[in-house]
Amino acid sequence: MNNPMVSPIRVLVVDDHTLFRRGLTALLSRDARVQVVGDAADAGEAQRRAQDLQPDLILLDNHLPGVRGVDAVAALQEAVPHARIVMLTVSEDEADMAAALRGGAAGYLLKTIEGDDLIQAIVRAVSGDSVIATEMTSKMISAYLGGGQANGAVPAPPTSPLDVLSAREREILRGIAQGASNKEIGRELGIAETTVKVHVQNVLRKLHVSTRVHAAVIATEIGLS
């Protein structure tokens, strides 16, 4: 049951198809945890509306007129630094996903996602998690590890990342690699969610990465997941 005392997540929908924007708005509006505060049809309008509305999260399509969504992520992040940006697109191109994540996107979802799953992804993204479509997981690893430095890949550390982590931090990293939220990791390990958050920050710092996605890639590379 949703807590009526909790403020809904303010969402800006960016897509060039009017019918899709309306349909997505209607879908999201069925859940009290989400409030669609506005929409936009292109990157320029999205930036203006984001500055005016100050949403908590921006759902951003890639195939926009003029500037592609993945190329607009950085500017949107600069316009509203506190907002989480999640791509919602039909593109399964790993280069698009890599560009979006490098630009600062908190997630990359496909438009084939079920409505309830989309709501859960929005909630997780706002709570600080990275949300990646299951179908894109292997491509994410390829984009960050197989493409080399030119593709913005995360280089493998000269020694095993596990060497710098405590036993508890390794458990946290395994949970991150499995796509678990902080709450889920805490429940699995029997520790408070706030404690998990502290451990996550320490893991990111020790691995010299800035996002859970990067940490998950490293974990997957060394077989920790």
Q: Could you tell me if 57 and 9 are in contact, meaning their C-beta atoms sit under 8 angstroms apart?
A: yes
Ranking 119-123, 126-130, 143-147, 189-193 by mean pLDDT, the lowest is: 143-147
**Predicted confidence (pLDDT) per residue in 59-94, tens digit:** 999 999 888 999 899 889 888 989 999 999 998 888
Q: Is the pLDDT of residue 150 over 50?
A: no
Domains defined along the chain, listed by start: 9-144 (3.40.50.2300), 154-221 (1.10.10.10)
Q: Burial letters for 61-76: b for 16+ Cβ neighbours within 10 Å, e otherwise?
A: bbebeeebbbbbbbbb
**Predicted confidence (pLDDT) per residue in 211-222, tens digit:** 787 788 788 777
Cross-strand pairs, 59: 13, 86
Provide CB contacts within 8 A for 89, sequence distance 6+. 60, 61, 62, 63, 69, 96, 108, 109, 110, 111
Over range 12-28, report the average pLDDT: 94
pLDDT band of 55, cuts 50, 70, 90? very high
In terms of pTM, does the model score above 0.85? no
